Structure 1
Amino acid sequence: MVAQSWIAFWLLICMFFLIFMIVKMKIHPFLSLLFVSIFFGLASGLGIEQTLDTILNGFGSILGSVGIVIVSGIIIGEILTATGGAKKIAQFILGIIGKKKSTLGTNVSGAVVSIPVFSDSGFVLLNPIIKSLSKVGNIPYVSLATALMAGLMTTHVLIPPTPGPIAGAELLGADLGKFTIYALIVAIPIVIVTTLWANSKFLTRKYPKIMVEEDLEQSDESEKTIVHTPSTFRSFLPIIVPIILIIGQSFSSQFLSGDSLLISIIIFIGSPPIALLIGVLLAFLLPKKLDGEVTDTWVSNAIEKSANILLITAAGGSFGSVLKETNIGEFLGGEVLALGFPGFLIPFIIAALTVTAVGSSTVAITTASAIVMPLLGDLGISPELALLAVAVGSLTVIHTNASLFWMVGKMGGMDLKQSYWAVTFTTLIMGITGIIAVGILSFFI
């Protein structure tokens, strides 16, 4: 085995080349992660056979653990989007909170919708609604767009079954039920602070534009379809039920003892794969008619969309396994502790640097979790706290190399400078708020 100081050096080189391949060479993260896994294994002295075995085992292990969960979550999101259920949820939340607090309602709506739906899709879906709100409520569009983006990104990185936290939990060995509870706590101050920022006089005076009539054609068309959507209650079920089951399973295993049939059932239906499959069955209740379009076409579309995420996640598992096999964690952990930083700051910084470089929160969570995994024992923090720090780091800072940055700007008719304020500066605020919340929470978990 190569000396630990040299292994650390090769890890630094690998991180540089990982970012270089993704950003400059435009090589897909799946291949980039595999290439650096191979290089790092060989450079660290694992040998050809051990490197190959470690990569394959890591790939298969994480794919087997999270594959069903990720695909099921994307199927739920696809059905909610196709049936209009996601839009119904947003309109319900906006109706409850009221037009006077439209910015808060928009933020919360984005946060709920983004649990099963990708952030990009969620913005496309809800953008017509916030354009209409801008006109009707005489609210600057940038205020609503900023709030919507913030809500979408918050739960996209924090709340399962979005792919990032699912993959991170598996890599770090975090309890998904506990993590979800903690993530909901961390999400609250992020939503509050970003709503205050979106409503700030600085932003609204700098960009006071209200949506005009010609901008509302898509919104009007969207409103006509709302009568065909499922009920609000049924729309919420595929999101809420799996989360409740996962949380229930996590805490029942700690507070209930014995081998009763009830406990066995709770543990079974609360396991993430089964809970999400139950969510899929509940999503099948949303269309008026359950036919081949729903059970085959929509599901096939979701499976195609999930392939990209699954492969990146599995490649991250390979990288994590190679890192673990080299025992680099003990060495780096000692070096980190010598610097005097709180343990939770290291995962945050790694994830923030990664997302700023590559532009994908999912890639940032997967990569950062793989790097942090061997450090856990020396950082002195729980897997759940480490994942929280990675998650909030993965939204700090989003800029021009992220698709969401351009989507928010282009769909809102913003120039580049305005997009920086609405997206980049907002995600900086989100990251700072999030890591402060994680730091406070660290005293209790």
Structure 2
Amino acid sequence: MTGITLIISFVIAIIIMIWSIAKLKVHPFLALMSVSLGLALVAGIPLDKIPALIGTGFSGTFKSIGIVIIFGAIIGTILEKTGAALKLADMVIKFVGQKRPELAMLIMGWVVGIPVFCDSGFVVLNPIREAIRRKIAASPVGMAVALSAGLYASHVFIPPTPGPIAAAGAIGLGNNLLLVILMGILVSFPVLVASYFFAKRVSKTIVISDEKDSDDAIYQSYDELIKHYGKLPSGFLSLAPIIAPILLMALGSIAKIMGLSGDIGIFIQFLGNPIIALAVGVVFAVLLLAQSKKMNEFDTLTNDTLKVVGPILFITAAGGVLGNVITQAGFVEYIKENAHIISSAGIFFPFLISAILKTAQGSSTVAIITTASIMGGFEASDSLMNALGLTSDMAAALTVMAIAAGAMCVSHANDSYYWVVTNFTKLTPQQGYRTQTALTFIMGTVGMLTVYLLSLILL
């Protein structure tokens, strides 16, 4: 199959996948695998090659990024369960001060959202938001919007959350996660600034009905949350599981750039490998458990984490299958032959694909993983990355950021995070569209504009 028929088949396959996930509630793993098989058959790939094609796409993804995703998720779970996430939040509040509640919530969410899923992060930090609101009579809507934005920004832009890690692996940056982390931090800054001003604005325009709970009940709920964790861990151990892997990856990158050789150079680059660096992060997380006297919960926490991260791994691997089928079907070759048609889209192409997937089916992680799988590796001659001319490490990192920005646009009724934010803030669905949906549209748009400006400078 060649030409326009191939393009039509691809578009139909994506529509069927979105429809299956969004309307029929088919699990993304099954939807991706089914669409991959169907597309392989329609594209005329020989039957005897299809099983190996599926197996290669599936196993290749696990090999490149699976362990990193698991380690990152374990770190996040331990930070949440030991109260380290609350400790980080308290540190942010002391740093920013209670006179700027929206800013405090924004930074708090951004820090905690790096290792913790945004849904869980909002639930964990919401009592702090409530307590601060009652204490200084701040706008509950403005603080909630700021907290949501901070969590969401780091959730989509900065590893070790599974989405950007998986995207980095699919794009070909699995061994250079530090670059993705640094670009994620850089791109998230303008997004956070825009979110802060939006939060300040909605705090004056949207009012919710007063909660029936008394001030004492709010304080009591916060005190009970602290008592649940017991004594909060130290600031050092709360930060170490996040900071240690970043520092090790930075040292590894420096050693590689400087061309250090010999035993020392090999050892530093060994420690800087994302798998080893995150393994060190897990070690610090275990020390955190020991300090919190919760080592007896380690096995349970690990099992719970694997249950959560398992579907993400399978979706990631299924996305690798789809990407492999797309490549072998000849779609990329056709794009290359007609590169002049889409070359003007450039870095906006992955953003648009990701935004369509996010808006249609609701999950940012699924949108990120699927889009990255479609784009393929930046070093592969038969990938969309190559067809678009995005063939350097920096171009690949910016592509991950463009995909992440698209995966923000937009959060609405088919997104679980939308309902977490609106329900805990006591917003009506209509107010949710004016706050959470509008916020995520602004965040995604500002994120993509930032990526575009960086591409003009760095590419």
User: Given the two structures, how large is their TM-score scaled by the length of structure 1?
Assistant: 0.95
- Which has the larger displacement, 329-338 or 126-135? 329-338
Paired position in structure 2 for 1:93: 92
3-state SS of paired residue (1:443): helix
1:231-275 deviation line (CA, Å, top 9, x unaligned): 11110100111122223323432x211422222112111111111
* Whole-angstrom distance in 1 between the partners of 2:230 and 2:93: 17
Partner residue of 1:285? 287
C-alpha separation in 2, matches of 1:250 and 1:323: 33
Q: Which residue of 2 aligns with 1:172?
A: 171
How far apart are the structure 1 equivalents of 2:186 and 2:308? 30
Point out where structure 2 has 5 or more consecutive residues left out of the alignment.
377-382
Structure 1 equivalent of residue 316 of structure 2: 313
Tell which deviates more after alignment, 328-337 or 266-275.
328-337
Task: Confirm whether residue 369 of structure 1 aligns to residue 383 of structure 2.
Answer: no
Evaluate the alpha carbon distance shift between residue 128 and residue 291 of structure 1 in structure 2; reply closer, same or farther with a 3 A threshold: closer
Q: What's the counterpart of residue 192 of structure 2?
A: 191
Equivalent residue in structure 1 for 2:405, among 392, 405, 414: 392
Matched pairs, number: 442
SS in 2 for 1:241: helix
Equivalent residue for 1:425, pick from 435, 438, 445: 438
Q: 1:209 to 1:249 in 2, by over 3 A?
A: farther
**Pair 1:208–1:399, CA change in 2 (3 A):** closer
Contact 1:130 1:145 in 2 (8 A): yes
Q: CA deviation at 1:37?
A: 0.7
Aligned match of 2:447: 434
| Aligned mates of 1:441, 1:11 — CA distance in 2 | 31
State the Cα deviation string for residues 310-347 of structure 1 (Å, max 9, x = none): 11111111111111222312423554642563411111
In structure 2, give the amino acid aligned to 1:281: V
CA distance in 2, matches of 1:157, 1:104: 20
Residue 401 of structure 1: how far off its partner (Å): 0.4
CA-to-aligned-CA distance 1:195-246 (integer Å, 9 cap, x gap): 111011x442322667652455422322445661211111010011112222
Task: Name the amino acid aligned to 2:445.
Answer: I
Bigger shift: residues 397-406 or 280-289: 280-289
Structure 1 unaligned segments of length 5 or more: list them: none
In the alignment, which of 231, 235, 259 is matched to residue 232 of structure 1? 235
Q: Tell me by how many angstroms 1:116 deviates.
A: 1.1
- The equivalent of 1:323 in structure 2 is 326
- Secondary structure of the residue aligned to 2:287 is coil
2:420 corresponds in structure 1 to 407
Q: In 2, distance between residues paired with 1:130 and 1:52? A: 52
Tell me how far apart the structure 2 counterparts of residues 279 and 55 of structure 1 sit (CA, whole Å).
33
Counterparts of 2:342 and 2:271, CA distance in 1: 44
Q: CA deviation at 1:444?
A: 2.7
Residues 88 and 226, structure 1, Cα contact 8 Å, conserved in 2: no
Q: What are the equivalent positions in structure 2 for 1:42-191 lying under 5 Å apart?
A: 42-174=41-173, 175-191=176-192
Q: Is the 8 A contact 1:38 1:52 kept in 2?
A: no
What percent identity do the matched residue pairs reach?
Answer: 35
Alignment correspondent of 1:300? 303
Q: Is the 8 A contact 2:114 2:159 kept in 1?
A: yes
Per-residue deviation at 1:290? 5.8
1:21 matched to which residue of 2?
Answer: 20
Whether contact under 8 Å (2:118, 2:152) holds in the other structure is yes
Secondary structure, in 3 states, of the residue corresponding to 1:228? coil
C-alpha RMSD of matched pairs (Å): 1.8
Residues 66 and 171 of structure 1, relative CA distance in 2, 3 Å threshold: same
1:141/1:209 contact within 8 Å kept = no
